[in-house]
Amino acid sequence: MKNYPKYFTFWHIFAHYGLRFSSLLVLAFLMLPILVIIPLSFNVEPFFTFTDGMLALDPEAYSLKWYAEIWHDDKWLLAIKNSFLIGICATLIATVLGTLAAIGLSNPAMPWQKLWMAILLSPMIVPLIITAAGMYFFYSQLNLAGSYLGVILAHAALGTPFVLITVNAALSGFDYSLVNASLGLGARPTFTFFKVIMPLIRPGVISGALFAFITSFDEVVVVLFLAGPEQRTIPRQMFSGLREQINPTILAVATLLILISALLLFTIEYLRARAERIQTGDLDD
């Protein structure tokens, strides 16, 4: 039996375990609709429902053929290639722009900081369908609609606010006297940035880059407006598959996306904890 402090009453203990239990219920409510996709992706039959064999845990009712189907379908291979190509390029652009914007906005001498912050965060606030429609009409004037460059720039614009937020948080406790000391000793601004500023904000930069990549990798609305047949991404292919030809290959791809997203989220959480240790001076390396 766990020993509680003497001032703990029955209601304290009830509230303690009640909070834990309610948190587990909320987690189950959020996760079960997602996790149910995983076993369905191993269904040997081309159905989106659990068969009698699956419910009976019959090994013959499960198969990996839908995962193999991904690598034998040219449309899925093109979508995978496009998703990584567009995601990586958009992440690089968003990381550079977001980091520079965060450093500039963190400077106390920067005028109208709140106004600029609101403008730069607007892609997160404005409904995505409005953003996508506006990008389509604007990019059409520049002949960027239906091109890789247009989709990359659009996803970079959507990912930049995430980098801005994470880097701005990393800069919240930054000591600018280090920058003044470096410049006072004759160091160039570029040297000061890479050797003084970047090592301290690196976890925030990497976290923002991962968020930007996830945003690009999972985005479908802008792709529907801007992408042509050659720029088809995984979410766009899944959307088309649901409309044209439904089979568990979509569930197999969704399972892989869940695993990738979980891995990236665990990485982000590790970087966040590491950034806290750096700020508190508890990091040993």
Q: Is the per-residue pLDDT at 84 higher than 60? A: yes
Structure-model confidence comparison of residues 284 and 53, the more confident one? 53
CA 131 – CA 225 distance, rounded (Å): 10
Least trusted range by pLDDT, from 94-98, 138-142, 197-201, 213-217: 197-201
User: Residue 173: which of 278, 34, 46, 67 has the closest Cα?
Assistant: 278
Mean pLDDT over 191-197 rounds to 81
The predicted pLDDT at position 1 comes to: 46
CA 217 – CA 258 distance, rounded (Å): 12
The predicted pLDDT at position 98 comes to: 92
pLDDT in tens, 101-135: 988 888 777 788 888 888 888 888 888 889 899 99
Residue 204 exposed, middle or buried by CB count within 10 Å (0-12, 13-18, 19+): buried
Q: How confident is the model at residue 94 (pLDDT cuts 50, 70, 90)?
A: very high
Least trusted range by pLDDT, from 97-106, 131-140, 235-244, 267-276: 267-276
The predicted pLDDT at position 279 comes to: 59
Taking phi over 0 as left and psi of -120 to 50 as alpha, with beta for the rest, 186 belongs to left
Q: What is the chain's mean pLDDT, rounded? A: 83
* Pairs from 34-38 (Cβ < 8 Å, separation ≥ 24): 34/258, 37/251, 37/254, 37/255, 37/258, 38/255, 38/258
Q: Is the per-residue pLDDT at 285 higher than 70? A: no
